[in-house]
Amino acid sequence: MTCIYHHKHYELAFFPYETSIKIRILDAKNARCFESEFTDSSSQSLSKSLCLNSKDLFSLIVRALTSSNDLLSLEILSMGTISIRIILQFPIEKLMEFNIPLKELELNDFRKGLYQMQDLEGRLSNIEAYFKKEELKIRKNSHFPSFETQSPNITNSYTFTNKRKTANKVKDSEGEILEGTKLEKMTDSNFIKFSVVFKGNTSIINGFIGVGFEKETGINKKGSYLMGSGVVYWDGTIFNSNSLIRNNEEISVIISEAEETIRWENKEGEKLFVGRFMKQNITSGLGIFRPLISAANAETSISFL
């Protein structure tokens, strides 16, 4: 893959291969072109054994181009030579300098067209890599929910920060459920997962975390699956359990359609509680659901991760 970089009025193109690298310098200002290919052995020899192969040489030049500092710098000489200057600090401070000479080539019309095409290929590769990175960033950020409130009473009991991804309990009160924005199952995933952290003034948090599949959800309602400290509300049924919500503990909820299970676990992946559900009892379908969160005590905060 062609990699294109710019340094002053020079354009540097790199063509990494399995055991060599070709380097091209285009001096558009003076209409001159320089190009040479360096094998693993020649890269090692040129760099005075600082680079063990052509991949090391490529990484070193790119780092000097993009992160130049007092310890590492690069200069391009008028005859197409790349001059590298390095100050090594271990085991003793030592200055290393070496040159990478390139051969001058005739810049005819064919070569101009070839270089323009290679330049476009390099730019397209950079654009594709950029959009892929941005796509992953958007996908990651949009996957995590924010809190929603359906009732004025709940709104008055919580304050919201961090783009509504953190809820802080204002007063002591029971049974107030916060809904998270709906999450949709990723097409390439076999499960749906979200994680939260509770923070409060006690070692054990008085609250609930779970998921709702019905349009109207709440404690002890059909389609509501909630785990708290010592109790679980499971689709309208309440029973005691050994589950705990500890202060400042990360808890994840994992819903598996294939296994028909809902599992709560801590950051280390240890099970807090797991139960099976019947898909036919969930009218809204497993593709869309809402995280459900609640806290009882004032000054308790809940944050989606």
Q: Residues 39-73: pLDDT tens digits?
A: 999 999 999 999 999 999 999 999 999 888 889 99
pLDDT at 179: 83
State how far the Cα of 271 lies from the Cα of 236, in Å rounded to an integer.
22
| Domains located in the chain, CATH noted | 3-140 (2.170.210), 147-304 (2.60.120.920)
pLDDT at 265: 92
Between these two residues, 28 and 8, which has the higher pLDDT value?
Answer: 8
86-122, pLDDT tens digit by residue? 998 877 888 999 999 999 988 777 777 777 777 777 7
241-294, pLDDT tens digit by residue? 888 899 999 999 988 877 888 999 988 888 899 988 876 555 444 546 788 998
pLDDT at 141: 46
State how far the Cα of 101 lies from the Cα of 79, in Å rounded to an integer.
8
- DSSP characters for 56-110? HHHHHHHHHHHS--SSEEEEE-TTSEEEEEEEE-SSS-EEEEEEEE-EEE---HH
Which three-class secondary structure string do you get for 215-227?
Answer: CCCCCCCCCEEEE
Residue 87 pairs with which residues in a beta bridge? Answer: 95
Structural contact between residues 40 and 20, judged by C-beta atoms closer than 8 angstroms: yes
Cα angle 289, 294, 295 (rounded to 5 degrees) comes to 165
Report the greatest alpha carbon distance in the chain: 83
pLDDT at 186: 57
Q: Is the pLDDT of residue 187 over 90?
A: no
State how far the Cα of 136 lies from the Cα of 160, in Å rounded to an integer.
26
pLDDT at 282: 55
Structural contact between residues 148 and 180, judged by C-beta atoms closer than 8 angstroms: yes
State how far the Cα of 296 lies from the Cα of 92, in Å rounded to an integer.
61
Q: Which amino acid is at 260?
A: E
Share of the chain above pLDDT 90, in %: 33
pLDDT at 174: 73
The chain-wide mean pLDDT, for the chain, equals 83
Per-residue pLDDT averaged across 117-140, rounded?
Answer: 67
